[in-house]
Amino acid sequence: MDGLGDHIGNWGDTIPVTRRMRTAPLWGLRFRTLFLHDGRTNSLTTAITEHAGQGAAAAAAFNSLSSTSKSNLIAFLQSL
Applying CB under 6 A, which of residues 9, 18, 36, 49 lies at the interface with ligand HEM? 36
State the minimum distance, in angstroms, from the CB of residue 46 to ligand HEM: 9
**Count of Cβ atoms closer than 10 Å to residue 50 Cβ:** 16
The DSSP code for 55 is G
Asked if 55 is part of the footprint of ligand HEM (rule: CB under 6 A), the reply reads yes
State the minimum distance, in angstroms, from the CB of residue 11 to ligand HEM: 23
CA distances from 47 to 12, 18, 74 (A): 30, 20, 11
Asked if 19 is part of the footprint of ligand HEM (rule: CB under 6 A), the reply reads no
- Residues near ligand HEM (CB under 6 A) are 4, 21, 23-24, 26, 35-37, 44, 47-48, 51, 54-55, 58, 77
